[in-house]
Structures are given as C-alpha cells and as structure tokens.
Amino acid sequence: MAEVKKLYAYWLKNMRDLELKKDLELISENDKEIFRRFHKKLKFGTAGLRNIMRAGTNGINVYTVRQATQGLANYLNKINEKNSIAIAYDSRLNSELFARESTKVLIENKIKVYLTSEIQPTPVLSYLVRKLKCQAGIMITASHNLAEYNGYKCYDEHGGQITEDIADEIYREIEKLDIFKDIKICNNFEKKVNFVEEKIYESYLNCVLEQRIIKNTFENSDLRVVYSPLNGTGYKLVTEIFNKIGLKNLFVVEDQKYPDGNFLTCKYPNPEYIECFELGIKLAEKTNSDIVILTDPDCDRVGICVLNNDKYKFLTGNEIGILILNYILENKKLPENPVIIKTLVSSKLINKMAEKYNCKVIEVLTGFKNIGKEILKLEKTNKLKNFIFGFEESHGYLTGTYVRDKDAVSASMLICEMASFYKKQNLNFINVLENINKKYKNYHSKNFSLILNNEKIDKILKNLRKSNLKEIFDFKIIKFKDYLNHFEDKANILCFDLEQDVNLIIRPSGTESKLKIYINAKNKSDVSKLANNFIYDLK
C-alpha cells in the first residue's frame, strides 16, 4: 500500500487538470479507493485500453490516453520514416476530448493526423485508415459498455484491430514513459491537423451500397422500420443509407436519436439484449412497423426484433447471421471458391449451410480482429474476391472487404433489404428461420452468460480442465480441446464435443466478470438440458 500511496501523491503533485485533481483530492482519506485507482496500470492489449473514466493509473483519463498515444507514436516512428494516423470518436462522455488529446501528442511527434470533425462509427475509422493509406488508426470508444466507461482502440495499416505482437510492442513503449514528464504535446494543433473531408464519408457509403444483393427490392415496398442508434454514432449514416436504398417508411426513436454519452434511456446500450428494445418496440407498436433495428453506440453491432403474430420477437446474433448468410447464398452470384469466416463460438449451422453451397468455412478464435486477420491472408494470396461473409455471434457482421471490422451500417442496410424481399413473399424473418431449420434438419444453439466473480470463474475452468473428466451433466465427452495449451493462437477457451452431436464451448469474458457458455446440438431438448444444468449448478 505504501507504493500505491506514493504513486497517488506523485499524481497529485504533477496533475494540471483541475477537475481530475479534485477527483483525487476527494479520496484522500479513502485507502480502498486509492488502491483501486493506483494498484495497477491499464494493460494495453489488442483492443487497446478500456475502463471507467477516472483519475489514476487504472482509469481512462487524459493522462493515460496521452501516455498510450506517446507509446504508439514511439513505436511507429521506430519502424517508419513518415507516419499518418486516422482518429475517430463516438458519442461517449469525453470521447472528443480524448481524440483531440491524442491528436496533440501525435502532431508533436511529427505524425500526420486525419481527425474526424464529428462522431463517427467504428467501421468508418477502419475505412479511413485504408482509404487514406494511414499506418494506424485510433478509435475512442467503449462500444456498448456502461456510460462511465470509455476506451482507446488501435488499428493497423490494413484497418483491422492490432495483433497481439504489435500490442505488446506498443505496451513496451508505454511502459518506458513517465506519464507526466515524457509526453510530447502540441498546443496549437488546430493549425496542423487534417480534418477528414465530407467526400470520404460519401465514398464509404458508396462502398456500403455495393453490398446490396437485390437492388430493386424497395420498388413498391411497404416495409415499415423502426430504428434507434441508442444515442450513439449511427443516426446520420444509417438513416442516410436507408434513404439511399429507397426505404420510405422509417421511424426513429426520438429519445435515442441524438448523441448522448449518458445513455439515460438505456443503461447498458447493447443490442444483444432485449431490454434495449423497450422504446423501439413501443414506437413499432404505434406505427405498425415490421421490424425494429438497433445499433450500439459505436455502430459496429446490430440487433433486431421482428413482428410475428402481433408480437415483437427478439433475434439472437446467431439467428441474424444465419439469415444474412442464407440470403447471400440464395440470391448472390457467388465466386468460384466462396469463403465464410466465423468465430469458433458462432452457430454450427453456418457450417452445414456452407457445405450445401460448397463454401469453405474458416473458424477463428473470438474477436472480430481474428476475422480481419483471415481476410488479410486472403488478400495476400490474391483470394480476396472469394470472401463472402464474416460473422461473430455477438451481433457482428461483414459482407465486404472495404473495412476490416464489423459494420452495423451495412448490416442494417442488408437487414432492411432482406425484410423487404421476404415481405413481398408474405414472409417474415421468423418464417424464414423456420424454413432454414427444416432445410438443415433443426440444428439448435443457445448462448448465455453467468455473472460470477473471477475467483469462481477460474475455479470452474480449472475443474473442467481436469484430465480425468469423463462427462458433463450426464453427457459423455467424446473430444476435448483446450485452446490455452494446444493451439498456435492461445486463448482461454474450452471446447467439448459431447455424445448425441452436442458441442459445448466455455470461456471467460474478456471485458466483464462473466462466464460465457455456447451450446450447439441437433436436439433442442439437449440444448435446454445442458443450459438449465449450468445455470442451476454454477449459480
């Protein structure tokens, strides 16, 4: 605790930000809070930084953001003579501030900066890096976390999230820096920054439009859509793309329309959860809409509810991915050797669909960065044209190669196109999913999370790793893979093939104190049995 107190005093002495300094002064008698703020430093990883906004080494603030940026600048300047970086930010509290502070540091380090003049979705940042031929990109966002969080995501020259080896090198540079004394800051950056021109965003939207499959589907269409950006970045570009494809009946949730980092109408702005749809469904009921579409604050994830038998039914990330892939396979002219890239934990039904259409499936570890890495491999081997779909069950989708991260702008457009296409056949997404299940003989999946403390999560995983484990809840283990020990890309993931064609995957969340469980099986009863046993036994 003495070292922690010493660090606390060092910050108080050197801070120039009066608001943050006051924040620290208020906890001077609170040893527990001082420890929480200073017992460790934020670890810079493949997703950059993410934490609660607060003063201290274990928080997101102007000092930790500047330090990370200085580390990034030092790394880039070691490997390149000239560098440029694109920076964008979302609607969260302090996101614009952190973007500008990053800009000041980079400019003082002789790095050219392209900064967005307003909030933008994460996929736009990926596009900017590629379009402007930058060596890196910074996205200030904490995605769908609570309002008190913010983050700092780093992208490579290809527009994908940085790999572990690059993250480690940047972190080594960060570790060398005194957070107050070693940071270079430009005080008149406005005269030296390059603000991104409007025509670049139009270019991005044109790339999104190229992802359409049936371009005339909105002719004589009466599709009615409710949309909410959940007070994030999606409103401008998503509504613009809806207008460009010819959607006439669009209703936007008024209280969630404009940017607001407080997220007052939706505490946890994540379209993976039905609770976020409350206001959207209310508006849909008033307007007799067919579908409700939500995008998360940085507009890289999308969720939907669909009208079915006078009620709005929530669709899982797997179900949305299955619908999009089915639409692609049935209606798009496929390349000679089509490739689908999905995460390991996403629905196994994707594999069965791919087999029928002679598509190759590449399975990767969780995280869309791994999908981006595989797209890059295709590009380097002149097989980029073979890519048709990238998919992760946590509501992330990509159908083109113009960006290298999940894109909720293009996914929202395709969802509307699909809905209009099927409505003309008197079908909704529930009907289509039922038809898909019949076609592929009912392959079922269920994903869920258990909120547990980290100690209990570690204990559960340790017990499951025991070599003498023969069965899990009366299901005999046929095959076991531990991705922590036996694979090139290591990850804390356990994969079990069980009897009766049941697949079980278990992993801890990378950002929250949760144990994530994924079940795939031919029989729906097996899925329910396993899920219920886990919930009952582990809680």
Instruction: Give the domain ranges of the chain.
Output: 40-196, 205-439, 444-538
Q: Map residue 330 onto helix, strand or coil.
A: helix
356: left (phi over 0), alpha (psi -120 to 50) or beta: alpha
Closest of 179, 296, 313 to residue 228, by C-alpha: 296
| 271 Cβ neighbours under 8 A, 6+ residues apart | 144, 230, 277, 294, 295, 296, 301, 302, 303, 304, 395
Sign of CA dihedral 350, 352, 356, 362: positive
Rounded to whole angstroms, the Cα distance separating 66 from 20 reads 15
**Which of 276-280, 425-429, 526-530 is least confident?**
526-530
**Cβ proximity of 226 and 251 under 8 Å:** yes
Give bridge partners of residue 313 from the DSSP assignment.
306
- The sign one gets for the Cα dihedral 162, 163, 164, 166 is negative
pLDDT category, 501, cuts 50, 70, 90? confident
Tell me how far apart the alpha carbons of residues 510 and 515 are, in angstroms, rounded to a whole number: 10
CA-angle at 181, arms to 175 and 183, nearest 5°: 70
Distances in whole angstroms, Cα of residue 243 to Cα of each of 225, 229, 236, 238, 256: 12, 16, 11, 9, 19
DSSP conformational letter for 93: T
What percent of the chain is modeled with pLDDT above 90?
A: 79
Tell which wins on pLDDT, 61 or 443. 61
CATH code reported for the domain at 444-538: 3.30.310.50
On whether the CB atoms of residues 51 and 152 are closer than 8 A, the answer is no
- Can you give the length of the chain in residues? 539
For residues 250-266, give the mean pLDDT: 97
The string over 162-199, giving b where at least 16 C-beta atoms fall within 10 Å of a residue's C-beta and e elsewhere, is bbeebbebbbebbeebebeeebbebeebeeebeebeee
pLDDT of amino acid 50:
93
Averaged over 62-74, what is the pLDDT? 98
pLDDT above 70 covers a percentage of the chain that reads: 99
Per the annotation, the verdict on 102 as an active-site residue is no
Reported as a single tens digit per residue, the pLDDT across 300-313 is 999 999 999 999 99
| 133 pLDDT higher than 90 | yes
Helix (H) or strand (E) holding 392: strand 387-392
Asked whether residue 199 carries a pLDDT value surpassing 80, the answer given is yes
Q: What is the full DSSP assignment across 103-162? A: HHHHHHTT-EEEE-SS---HHHHHHHHHHTT-SEEEEE--TTS-TTEEEEEEE-TTSSBP
Cβ-based neighbours of 252, under 8 Å, separated by 6 or more = 226, 227, 228, 235, 239
What are 13's two structure tokens?
């002495």
Characterise 443 by phi-psi region: left (phi > 0), alpha (psi -120 to 50), beta (else).
Answer: beta
How does residue 215 score in pLDDT terms, banded at 50, 70 and 90? Answer: very high
Which numeric CATH code is attached to 205-439?
3.40.120.10
Nearest Cα neighbor of 470 from 505, 498, 501 is 498
pLDDT at 531: 85
The Cα 476–Cα 482 span in angstroms is: 17
User: Under CATH, to which class is 40-196 assigned?
Assistant: alpha beta
Confidence of residue 487 (pLDDT cuts 50, 70, 90): low
Residue 144 reports pLDDT greater than 80: yes
The answer to whether the 40-196 and 205-439 domains have the same CATH topology is: yes
46 contacts 55 by C-beta, under 8 angstroms: no
What is the rounded CA–CA span in Å between residue 6 and residue 39? 11
pLDDT at 536 over 80: no
Distance, CA of 318 to CA of 316 (rounded, Å): 5
pLDDT-derived band at 491 (thresholds 50, 70, 90) equals confident
CA diameter of the chain: 72
Work out the average pLDDT over 374-383.
97
Question: What is the 3-state composition of the chain as percent helix, strand, coil, each rounded to the nearest 5?
Answer: 40, 20, 40
229 φψ region: left (φ > 0), alpha (ψ -120 to 50), beta (else): alpha
CA distance 207 to 410: 9
- Helices 95-108 and 62-79 cross at an angle (nearest 10°) of 40
Residues 462 and 455: beta-carbon distance below 8 Å = no
Per-residue pLDDT, averaged over 274-300, amounts to: 98
Query: Is the per-residue pLDDT at 130 higher than 90?
Result: yes
d(CA 400, CA 398): 6
pLDDT, averaged across the chain: 94
CB atoms within 10 A of CB 435: 12
Q: Which of 91, 95, 143, 347 is catalytic?
A: 143
pLDDT higher than 70, residue 60: yes
Contacts of 425 (CB under 8 A, 6+ apart): none
In the predicted model, is pLDDT for residue 524 greater than 90? no
Question: What is residue 76's predicted lDDT score, i.e. its pLDDT?
Answer: 98
Measured from the Cβ of residue 16, the count of other Cβ atoms closer than 10 Å reads 9
